Amino acid sequence: MALPKSLSHSSLTAPYGLGPLGVAAGIFFMMGFVTWLNGPLISFVRVAFSLGDVAAFMVPMVFYISYFIFSIPASFLARSLGLRKGLSVALLLCALGVATFGQFVSMRIYGGALTGLLILGAGLSLMQVVVNPLVSLLGPSDRAAQRIAVMGVCNKFAGILAPIVLATVVMGDIDHVAQSASAAPDAAARNAVLNTFVHAIYTPYMGMALLLLVAAVTVVFCPLPNLQAPLIPGMPDSGTRIFRPHLVFGILTMFLYVGVEVMAGDAIGTYGQQFGFPLSQTKFFTSFTLGAMLFGYLLGFAIIPRIITQERFLELSCIAGIILTLMAFLTTGYVSVACVALLGAANAMMMPTIFPIAIRGAGPWTPLASALLVMTYSGGAIIPQIYVALKPLIGFQAMFALLVIPSYFAVFFYARRYGQTGLLPLDQTP
């Protein structure tokens, strides 16, 4: 059956126009900026609070575990508030989290700083639950990955900027600070050095909190459609059942994927330090991974679905990820780090493809299905913690490969099983 003109594949967002997509793009930029600060923050808190790897990796752990804790409550809140109010409340929570983190870091109270990250994660959980279905459903289904790729470009461009801004404005010559603190003759002198170092974070974080507050007010006045995934034609009980195989296995797949993304993005600094690279270099490594992700998004946007389907692109991305991980294991130094950074390109189109597949046919369960998938972002908390706990036992390169390669295989088989067969496209009728 021919597609209605309003859903022509020539349009990315028909029949809703580009306005809602533009609002979503701005939100994804803000999400990317606050999210991808985590990579250099690991090095920052390691020096500021004199921590080891496991304690420093509490930064991504607390941040990403918040998705597991808050996503289901966020789905009910989103359903109650609607799209605009839901996004506004999410931005308010993010502003509170950023301000709390900045305040407690400047006071050198690590538990308070982690509380700020938990609040920030709560805001982002609500934001993801609301905005991901919006982007996935804002036009033809076979261009969903393209729309999410646009969001990814905004997110990762912000992610490239964030570590650079933090590294230059806040972290400065972090190697000199670490050496000065270690060489301090007594605790008072060491605390004086570190107090000066951490105070630099206060003004930038309060500035970010203010911008998020302004965005929260602005979103209230933006016209945004409330969307839910259409039911799958011909599938029995499609309006009453949510836990279908493509969602259940999508949840597992997304958990593994987010863990891999965080390994390549946030853990790359720690990975580089194992080769002896100084903090003054490794604090920028997250930006290299996000630069590769930006390239991957642009490539995906350019060729999907003109040359290749989004599901086939996902399979090829997994193969590229496996090859790059093997190369990282078999090489050393800058070559190995470069292979890890290039995983960003392989990872770029994975979430944009997994998410639309997993929520197909959710109907009125769309907010809950979205929340369950957002919960799996906790993979970014669990998998890096496994890495830092076990790498002293078997080696940091071997541990990296043992976590990442099986995850890519899992994503590959999900794409092969549920991406191409078993479900009708959302904009197709029998």
* Cβ atoms 286, 36 nearer than 8 A: yes
CATH topology of domain 14-419: Growth Hormone; Chain: A; (1.20.1250)
- 152 CB-near residues (< 8 Å, 6+ apart): 28, 293, 294, 297, 348, 349, 351, 352
The position carrying tokens 């991504």 is: 60
Q: What is the pLDDT along the chain (430 residues), one digit of tens a residue?
A: 333 333 344 476 666 677 777 888 888 898 888 887 887 888 888 888 888 888 988 998 999 999 899 988 888 887 788 777 888 899 999 999 999 999 999 898 999 999 999 999 999 988 888 877 777 777 776 677 677 777 878 887 888 888 888 878 777 777 777 788 777 778 788 888 888 888 888 888 999 999 999 989 888 887 776 655 444 444 444 444 677 888 889 999 999 999 999 999 888 988 999 999 988 888 888 889 988 988 988 888 788 878 888 888 999 999 999 999 999 999 999 999 999 999 999 998 898 788 888 888 777 777 788 888 889 989 998 999 999 999 999 999 999 999 999 999 999 999 998 876 444 333 332 2
- What does the pLDDT read at residue 52? 87
Contacts of residue 53, Cβ cutoff 8 Å, sequence gap at least 6: 46, 270, 388
Query: What pLDDT, on the 0 to 100 scale, is given for residue 428?
Result: 33
Best CA proximity match to 316, nearest among 330, 307, 197: 307
Instruction: Determine whether 184 is exposed, middle or buried from the number of CB atoms within 10 Å of its CB (0-12, 13-18, 19+).
Output: middle
DSSP letter string, 124-147: HHHHHHHHHHHHHHSS-GGGHHHH
Contacts of 109 (CB under 8 A, 6+ apart): none
**Could you write out the DSSP letters of every residue in 375-410?**
HGGGHHHHHHHHHHHHHHHH-HHHHHHHHHHHHHHH
The SS3 of residue 421 is coil
- pLDDT recorded at residue 318: 96
Quick one: CA torsion of 331, 332, 334, 339, rounded to 10 degrees? 40
Q: Which amino acid is at 174?
A: I
Distance of CA 195 to CAs 102, 168, 309, Å?
A: 13, 18, 53
CB-based contacts of 140, cutoff 8 Å, min separation 6: 3, 7, 8, 9, 11, 14, 427
What pLDDT is recorded for position 336?
96
DSSP H or E run through 311: helix 310-330
Quick one: angle between helices 285-303 and 144-165, nearest 10? 160
Count of all residues that appear for the chain in the document: 430
Which residue in the block uniquely carries the two structure tokens 């995934």?
A: 229
From the number of C-beta atoms within 10 Å of its C-beta (0-12, 13-18, 19+), residue 221 rates as: exposed
The values of phi and psi at residue 164, to 5°, are -65, -45
Alpha helices in 138-273 (DSSP H): 144-165, 174-183, 187-199, 202-219, 245-265, 268-273
CA–CA separation, 79 and 75 (whole Å): 6
